Structure 1
Amino acid sequence: MPKPQIVWFRRDLRLRDQPALYAAAQRGPIIPVYVLDDERAGDRKLGGASRWWLHHSLESLATGLARHNAKLTLLRGDCVEKLSELAEAVGAETVHAISHYEPWWRKAEEELADRLELDLYDGNYLMPPGSVTTGSGGTYKIFTPFYKALQKALPTFDPLEEPSFTLPDSWPQSDRLEDWDLLPTKPDWAAGLRKTWEVGEGAAHEKLSYFSDIASDYEKGRNLPSVEGTSRLSPHLHWGEISPAQVWKALEGKRGQGVEVFRSELIWRDFAQNILFQFPHYPEENYRERYDGLEWRNPNRGHLIEEDLKAWQQGQTGYPIVDAGMRQLWATGWMHNRVRMIVASFLIKHLLIDWRHGEKWFWDTLVDADYASNGTNWQWVSGTGVDTQLYTRIMAPLSQSAKFSAENYIREWVPELAHLSDEDIHDPSAEKRPESYPERLIEHTEGRERALNAYKAMKAAED
């Protein structure tokens, strides 16, 4: 009888278009396993919102496996040790897994390959990171040429169907999911997440089906916070409940500039992994070392700065569009993509607080918190990254709010301003601002000048 085949799930929690699962199913009885390893990632252990999503995604995966009379084995601890022990206990020699590129996962894969046969597969990105190269064989650091090269290199996608399984004679011991305490209880802050999200592979495909019908409007809709014009697929893609190949395939035959813009967003996701593949600590360090000399107003420099950071986190800055975004993030674990840029620019430029404080807050509060994408996006806004906007580009939150018609978005998330007119709600005057709404932490002109002066001081120190 063929030996059992271990399928190691991580951020690939699906049954369809799951190449590791498909390959294992061809070779013998499968033992699907998820290992909760909080230690390998160090301070990058999953944040609160991610843990909430993971709980429900694992429930969904287990339900899908149960349709085949298969069980999901749950283990907690060092993933290399737990998988090695499991293999010995069930008589397995091979572990099948989709490749992951965060530094802690790459190290785990290297260690596991020294103990067992580890078969790795591509499946979380359109193309494997590092595979799209320049004419001289180098790697890309600028998005536009990467975008063009990847489009030329893309294969014809033919996503795998859900495989049929053979099962082992017996199942290994497993933890109970509820014993992992991934869900918040005291206090239970996840009411907004439960209201906002359906989690799992089935929900991901329902969302894709809906979005594929409106994708032609994406170019405009993605910039309008008051309109449901984005795909909201980001957490499903991050957790691998749906593959980018499946998304790309669903858009075949769809026409319009919005479809092309959305495809470019999928390619940006690949680009972020391509950067991480080259620079494993990119989400932790300025790529442009000159910015190490910028004098940030970081929280360790005083109580008032700590209060500014806290006000930003809680949506109490006095800028309605910023506060709406930060409150949406806290309530739902997600934020509209245009607003993400506005709130990031505000923290970095208006408050002059290091981008890494914002990146870490997003890491804890986003259901789609992705090590590569999060770091790449924050460094893009801050001007410190490989392919980035200029530090001196400072978004004006008041005019951005009006330009992109955010009035109903603000009414939803900053209800104390809901009575204001469309004209007043973006920039409420002192007379019209209710007492319950805070004054601005800093005026736009003052914040802009302070940011530019810090940049000039950094440049002068280099001379």
Structure 2
Amino acid sequence: MAVALVWFRDDLRLDDQPALRAALERGWLPVPVYIHAPDEEGDWAPGAASDAWRRRSLAALADALERRGSRLLVLRGPSLGTLQALAALTGAEAVLWTRRYEPAIEKRDAKIKRALREAGLHAESFNGALLFEPWEVATKQGDPYRVFTPFWKAARAQWRTPRLWDAPARLPSPDAAEAPHGIALDTLLPAPSPPWDAGFWQRFTPGEAGAGDALARFLGQALAGYASARDMAAEAGTSRLSPHLHFGEVAVQRVAAAVLDAGDTIAAEDRDRFLAELGWREFAHHVLHHFPKVPDEPLDARFADFRWARPLQARLDAWRQGRTGVPIVDAGMRELWHTGWMHNRVRMIVASWLTKHLRMHWRHGARWFWDTLVDADLANNTQGWQWTAGTGADAAPYFRVFNPVTQARRFDPEGAYIARWVPELAALPPQARFAPWEQPELLRRLAPGYPRTPQVDLAEGRQAALEAFALLKRAR
């Protein structure tokens, strides 16, 4: 039987796995392989939280393959040389993989595909990460979209019922191709010591089975009412599928199909709102593909000359550690540190505080999220930070400055989220948790360890941001 290397990357699943499916349907013996080569990802090699998740997700994939009679071959890069050597060793005539869209990876993969084909191998990549390829949705003039609403309208017009695929119960063994056994996962990605990631796994279960459970839980518990509950910080009103989607543990096509098939008990408003969130994920990849410099440069070129504040290390550290003196901001940053995740509404609030009230460059925040989020995705992370900072595609205007007290009162009305993640404020009456500096005696008596005042006065910080933006406009 002819052999095909099935190169796993951020597509760590068996169902709806296009490379594996192609190998089986074309009669090739699939040899599943994962190659660890973080240095090939340029300036955006995976962060610590991503590596912690990847280790567990790869272990889950290896177990799933072994239950089917196959196994995962884990190797260390460089990717091209490793694939070439493995193809020669196994006699493989094909290398198949699922596409990624990060700029450094797109360039690398194009080089790998050319080199493999020049060597006489069949090299083919597939879409397994998006509903629509970035080059499939364009304006009438053929340009990429920079605004979400027309992008999503055009994308939805192209919607086709996805062709889902369940992996077979048994797979051929790579031993028939005399494949080597590779590197132990514990050697490649050792578990953290001490286990700083322990809180992650109280909320998440990496792997395809964990993704399936998360999807079922969302469909059964949170899809109904999603449109309103998704913004409430203390409620489990979001899908929490983002890390599973990032690592490809569930296909976005399967998620979308499940939501569309949820039945008449789900209001159209809830269904469409969630599909639009998947649309924002698509839009982020669309922008990253067409504007590959956005992880480091503003998409809105006006902001290349914006007067960001000097990044004072003490202020930046206090933001990272959840010690800003603004409870909703501190709650979000502590949730991130403990769980590797943060509620989406709160992400916008903490990002606005950093980029508007502190006026620090959005890259400082993007880098911190990149290292600490289990769903750290270059397209989505960049989109989120540039959107909040007012510098990106379809961005909130820079002069829109979130008031963190107003936001907390609206989206955490009982102060439950704040009490959960800033427990020193739990003794305060709920309405005193939003702006405790307004009741200094109560704060001193019931929460003596919490900062007496915010890093900057809210009104003064907002005014300084508006003045900096006014200077930018006058310079034009």
Q: Which residue of 1 aligns with 2:102?
A: 102
* C-alpha distance in structure 2 between counterparts of 1:128 and 1:43, whole Å: 24
- Name the SS of the counterpart of 2:218 in structure 1: helix
The alignment status of 1:431 with 2:438, answered yes or no, reads no
TM normalised by structure 2 equals: 0.93
Once the two structures are superposed, residues 331-389 of structure 1 have per-residue CA deviations (whole angstroms, 9 ceiling, x without a partner) of 00000000000000000000010001000100000000000111011111111112111
Aligned AA (1:269): R
Q: 1:227 is matched with which residue: 228, 231, 235?
A: 235
Q: Which residue of 1 aligns with 2:469?
A: 455
Gaps of 5+ in 2: 117-121
Quote the offset at 1:165 in angstroms.
2.6
The alignment status of 1:332 with 2:339, answered yes or no, reads yes
Q: Give the superposed CA RMSD.
A: 1.2
The alignment status of 1:409 with 2:453, answered yes or no, reads no
Q: Which residue of 2 aligns with 1:302?
A: none
Report matched runs for 1:217-366 at 5 Å: 217-254=225-262, 255-256=266-267, 257-299=269-311, 305-366=312-373
Quote the offset at 1:182 in angstroms.
4.2
The alignment status of 1:119 with 2:118, answered yes or no, reads no
Kept after mapping to 2: 8 A contact 1:28/1:166? no
Once the two structures are superposed, residues 290-313 of structure 1 have per-residue CA deviations (whole angstroms, 9 ceiling, x without a partner) of 2121111132xxxxx111111000
Q: 1:446 is matched with which residue: 441, 445, 460?
A: 460
Aligned AA (1:443): D
- Name the SS of the counterpart of 1:118 in structure 2: strand
Aligned AA (2:284): A
Kept after mapping to 2: 8 A contact 1:74/1:177? yes
Quote the offset at 1:457 in angstroms.
1.7
Q: Which residue of 1 aligns with 2:166?
A: 161
Q: 2:380 is matched with which residue: 363, 373, 377?
A: 373
Q: 2:199 is matched with which residue: 183, 189, 192?
A: 192
Kept after mapping to 1: 8 A contact 2:71/2:173? no
Distance of aligned partners of 1:6 and 1:247 in 2 relative to their CA distance in 1, 3 Å threshold: same
Quote the offset at 1:137 in angstroms.
2.8
* C-alpha distance in structure 2 between counterparts of 1:294 and 1:137, whole Å: 31
The alignment status of 1:141 with 2:149, answered yes or no, reads no
The alignment status of 1:383 with 2:390, answered yes or no, reads yes
Kept after mapping to 2: 8 A contact 1:25/1:166? no
Once the two structures are superposed, residues 132-183 of structure 1 have per-residue CA deviations (whole angstroms, 9 ceiling, x without a partner) of 1223333211100011111110111131111353234133230110002343
More displaced stretch, 154-163 vs 59-68: 154-163
Q: Which residue of 2 aligns with 1:73?
A: 73
TM normalised by structure 1 equals: 0.96
Q: Which residue of 1 aligns with 2:119?
A: none
Quote the offset at 1:98 in angstroms.
0.7
Q: How many aligned residue pairs are there?
A: 455
Q: Which residue of 2 aligns with 1:152?
A: 157
Gaps of 5+ in 1: 300-304
Kept after mapping to 1: 8 A contact 2:357/2:465? yes
Aligned AA (2:199): G
Quote the offset at 1:115 in angstroms.
2.4
Kept after mapping to 1: 8 A contact 2:69/2:172? no
Kept after mapping to 2: 8 A contact 1:84/1:115? no
**Between the two proteins, what is the percent identity of the paired residues?**
42
